[in-house]
Homo-oligomer: A and B are copies of this chain.
């Protein structure tokens, strides 16, 4: 016999929907801001992640993991960014474990130009709107979401 569905209670449902709407709001604001630089949030995350890597490059598989995108979606995004000269793909003859994505000078320049207003938007729409105490609680909450994901992958 199937076990009966454990529906969310009224408070859980309210919190879950508030989260969905708030997350959509954050995305809207950040996307609108980044659009003035011709970027979306996924592309911005790729620029940041590559800028912090050794030699500003990562294997595509590592990059996908770091920005939590599927390989197919990442390939699509990187192709678009490569056409604009922001990243380039390199295959190393002495490394058969695949293709690297490398941040170009143009990509680094765009990151430097777009970062100040992006960070101001993150502060305004999220960090300062929420306040320090609940912001730390959000950090703990999403750390546990990720930890539960790692456990279930083991």
Contact = CB atoms under 8 A, between A and B. Distances in A.
B19 A142 contact: yes
A52 to B, nearest CB: 11
B16 A127 contact: yes
Report whether over half of chain A's contact residues are helix, strand or loop; otherwise say mixed: helix
27 contacts: A5-B115, A5-B116, A5-B119, A6-B123, A7-B119, A8-B127, A12-B127, A15-B138, A19-B139, A20-B68, A21-B142, A21-B146, A22-B142, A22-B145, A23-B23, A23-B142, A25-B68, A25-B149, A28-B68, A125-B148, A126-B145, A129-B145, A129-B147, A130-B144, A133-B137, A137-B137, A138-B138
Given A15-B135, A68-B25, A129 B116 contact: no
